[in-house]
Amino acid sequence: MIAGPLTIVAHDAGAANHIFAWLGDEKPVLCLEGPARALWLDRIRKGDPVTVPETLFFPGQNTEPYIFNETKLTEAISRSATVITGTGWESNLEHDARKLARDRGIRSIAVIDHWVNYLDRFVRNGEQVLPDEIWVSDGYAARIARLTFPTVKVVQQPNSYLEGLVSEVRCCKPLTLVEATNRVLYLLEPIRHLWGELNKPGELLALDYFMAERHRARIPLQAEIRLRPHPSDPPGKYQDWLSRHANSRVKLDPSASLAESLIWSNIVVGCQTYAMVVALACGRIVISSIPPWAPKCILPQREIRHLADLPL
Q: Which fold has domain 6-158?
A: Rossmann fold (3.40.50)
Distance (Å) of CA 88 to CA 9, 57, 211, 228, 289:
11, 19, 30, 20, 23
pTM: 0.80
d(CA 284, CA 165): 13
Helices vs. strands in the chain: H and E counts, helices first:
11, 15
d(CA 271, CA 187): 8
Distance (Å) of CA 61 to CA 45, 71, 293, 294:
19, 12, 43, 40
Chain region(s) in the chain for CATH 3.40.50: 6-158, 163-309
- pLDDT at residue 165, as a whole number: 87
Residue 266: closest CA among 308, 224, 298, 210: 224
Residue 9: closest CA among 65, 88, 62: 88
- pLDDT at residue 67, as a whole number: 37
d(CA 115, CA 233): 21
Per-residue pLDDT for the chain (312 aa), expressed as one digit of tens each?
Answer: 687 789 999 999 899 999 999 987 777 888 888 888 888 888 777 666 555 554 555 555 444 433 333 457 888 888 899 999 999 887 899 999 999 999 999 999 999 998 888 999 999 999 999 999 999 999 999 999 999 999 999 999 999 999 988 888 887 766 555 555 589 999 999 886 666 666 788 899 999 999 999 999 999 888 999 999 998 899 999 999 999 988 788 999 999 889 999 999 989 999 999 999 999 999 899 999 999 989 899 899 999 999 999 987
Q: Which fold has domain 163-309?
A: Rossmann fold (3.40.50)
